[in-house]
């Protein structure tokens, strides 16, 4: 099997997976429970989620390790479990995928703010936390590291630098919301700035996840592609913007609707396409069908 970067570099469009947290809550994970702990306490559930997405057509699945850095796990009293949890997360995804596709080790933001941005964390602490997590994901069998849902360029750059130490391809995605100044992260970063700075830091694939339904992602990808023309772009779109009905948060974009916008997303520059919050195997199956149809044209 060709490597991930080789395939997207050749112009192939790959299908990624959908939401992890949404699926875990559906399987019984309680509010306030550590999602990463399920890699040890309920490994069959975590592996089964990956398997469901693979059956639906995902050629790349992410690990259940989004909050697996020491800075994040410390809030659950699990600081000393970074290695164990991340290795298990990668091993479970690897077991589900086998040799038929790719495992991306998920690294999310720490929830802390850098001193330079008014917070309490020095950049070296970000780097060390991400380095420890990325190394464990690589040891567990990840094919790439996917740094995702970033809002701070400073934190993202430290994550990229740390992940590059594994020797694996590094993906970095940011989350944008549409406001008066256009699309921006919570820290005020534009898609153009995110694309340029992530690429300069060494990211092999850039992109966007969460925050938007698929229509918003089309616009974000256009902006990123205009800023950086020579690097693959990954998109994990929500199933729409979340709304609260009868006390429940729901996502209204159907699999059919998301699939109907795939051609536009590809035309904008996306090379890896999957889902984020609110998406499930049905969404990924519809996206996979649309991607296959697009590549046959």
Which segments of 72-126 are extended strands (E)? 102-107
Task: Return the domain boundaries, the chain.
Answer: 4-296
Predicted confidence at residue 297, as pLDDT, reads: 60
Question: Does CATH place domain 4-296 in 3.20.20.330?
Answer: yes
SS3 52: helix
DSSP secondary structure string for all residues of 202-266: T-SEEEEESSS-HHHHHHHHHHHHHH-SSS-EEEEE-SSS-EEETTEEE----HHHHHHTHHHHH
Predicted confidence at residue 242, as pLDDT, reads: 84
Q: Residue ranges of the chain with pLDDT lower than 70? A: 297
Q: What percent of the chain has pLDDT over 90?
A: 94
């Amino acid at each position: 099997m060709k490597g991930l970067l080789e395939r997207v570099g050749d112009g192939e469009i790959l299908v990624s997976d959908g939401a992890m947290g949404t699926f875990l809550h559906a399987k019984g994970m309680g509010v306030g429970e550590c999602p990463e702990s399920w890699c040890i306490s309920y490994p069959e559930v975590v592996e089964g989620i990956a398997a469901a997405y693979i059956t639906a057509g995902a050629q790349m699945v992410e690990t259940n390790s989004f909050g697996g850095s020491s800075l994040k796990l410390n809030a659950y009293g699990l600081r000393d479990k970074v290695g164990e949890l991340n290795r298990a997360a990668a091993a479970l995804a690897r077991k589900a995928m086998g040799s038929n596709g790719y495992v991306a080790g998920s690294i999310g933001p720490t929830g802390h703010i850098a001193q330079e941005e008014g917070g309490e964390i020095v950049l070296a602490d970000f780097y060390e936390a991400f380095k420890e997590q990325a190394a464990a994901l690589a040891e567990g069998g990840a094919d790439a590291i996917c740094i995702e849902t970033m809002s701070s360029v400073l934190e993202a750059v430290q994550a990229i630098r740390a992940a590059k130490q594994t020797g694996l391809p590094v993906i970095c995605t940011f989350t944008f919301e549409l406001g008066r100044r256009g699309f921006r992260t919570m820290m005020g970063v534009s898609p153009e700035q995110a694309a340029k700075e992530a690429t300069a830091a060494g990211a092999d694939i850039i992109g966007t996840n969460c925050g938007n339904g698929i229509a918003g992602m089309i616009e974000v990808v256009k902006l990123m592609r205009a800023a950086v023309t020579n690097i693959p772009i990954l998109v994990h779109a929500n199933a729409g913007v979340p709304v609260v009905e009868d006390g429940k948060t729901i996502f209204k974009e159907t699999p059919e609707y998301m699939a109907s916008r795939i051609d536009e997303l590809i035309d904008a520059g996306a090379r890896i396409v999957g889902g984020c919050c609110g998406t499930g195997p049905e969404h990924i199956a519809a996206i996979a069908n649309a991607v296959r149809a697009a590549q046959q044209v």
